[in-house]
Amino acid sequence: MLRYKAYQFRLYPNQEQTILIAKTIGCSRFVFNHFLDLWNTTYAETGKGLSYNACSAMLPKMKREEETGWLKEVDSIALQSSLQHLADSFARFFRNQNDKPNFKSKNNPVQSYTTKNVNNSIEVKEKHVKLPKLGLVTFAKSRQPKGRILSATLRKNASGKYFVSLLCEEEIHEWPKAESVIGVDLGITDFAILSDGQKKDNDAFTSQMEKKLKREQRKLSRRALVAKKDGKELSQAKNYQKQKRKVARLHEKVANQRMDFLNRLSTELIKNHDVICIEDLNTKGLLRNHKLAKSISDVSWSSFVSKLQYKADWYGRDIIKVDRWFPSSKLCSTEGCGYKAPSMPLTVRDWVCPICHVHHDRDINASRNILIEGLRLHAMK
């Protein structure tokens, strides 16, 4: 079946290409903000917003005007894509799917623009990727994109690195049946506890880097104070900007490590099991617990579940979500027992069932109960 799949690569643009990327990002941001302001004004005056077609028709005129003639220097499709993003944001807002669109700032740590593939304007050629207006750009080709390239999103991170994401339409084939089912209990000390007794260690990437991050962030704060004392804008303070990029690179390294771990684990589970039963966690609610918020944010449960879901859709697997109120930790998972403990505080890591006298590891027992409940729900589908 045809699916959309994105391939991300690091770009190494030359100086001329770097300048043009910066111009395109700036022009795309200007178009987004200009029409967002016009949309808000029109709505306030008439009670109705604009449409993508109405805004798109105004762009050619803006390029001919003296004040905004510089818009024609960059990729026109990137400007149209910026308008499309604005229209999509308003459409989702009116469907109560997200908040009202906000103005984009040049101070955001990540800056990007999207362009579409028209008449093979985007192609992968050996060690280069061809992009509209930029021509051939050197990139780190870690794998070969498959299928038809639909669009490309160029991004500049806070670390100063450039990346391109190629969105492709390709044929995804379902994997053969594994004849196996698994229950997964997500935790903090151990990231994932499986019903077969395995525990997948949480590498706690942020906590490992915490001391170094604190040290570099203190340096950043001191350099901000020095710049303020010297009467300099932070954007003009070279030492501050240099340290800011260093801190951003550390955060980026942590994010990459976490993403690699989540991708490997989700692929392993999808590849080896036909049905994966998992608890439907209320991550947003749990993050309100200030004692656990940092740890929960570090382990990225929601990102992991999202990866499991889309890979299951691609490769013909089933994800069964068990209700968050299901007492997986309190129930005895021994077949034929089903004893439910009256309470189970987080400090209790193992317990003995008073009925069948089986010793339970709290987390493994919970994952087995999640599997049992998940298979029951699966049978009812």
Domain ranges of the chain: 2-171
Among 281, 262, 270, 162, which residue's Cα sits nearest to residue 205? 262
Catalytic residues: 185, 279, 363
199 token code pair = 């525990």
The answer to which of 113-127, 162-176, 197-211, 357-371 has the lowest mean pLDDT is 197-211
Quote the CA–CA distance of 250 and 245 in Å, as a whole number: 9
96 CB neighbour count, 10 Å cutoff: 7
| Strand 275-279 to 111-116 pairing | unpaired
The overall average pLDDT reported for the chain is: 90
Rounded to the nearest 10 degrees, the angle between the axes of helix 205-229 and helix 238-272 is 160
What are residue 327's phi and psi, to 5 degrees? -80, 65
Average pLDDT over residues 134-152: 94
C-beta separation of 367 from 195 below 8 A? yes
- pTM here is 0.85
pLDDT of residue 291: 60
What is the chain's length? 381
C-beta separation of 253 from 206 below 8 A? no
26 token code pair = 């700036």
Quote the CA–CA distance of 254 and 171 in Å, as a whole number: 32
pLDDT of residue 132: 95
What is the residue whose two structure tokens read 């149209």?
80
pLDDT of residue 95: 92
What is the residue whose two structure tokens read 């109120």?
325
C-beta separation of 115 from 132 below 8 A? yes
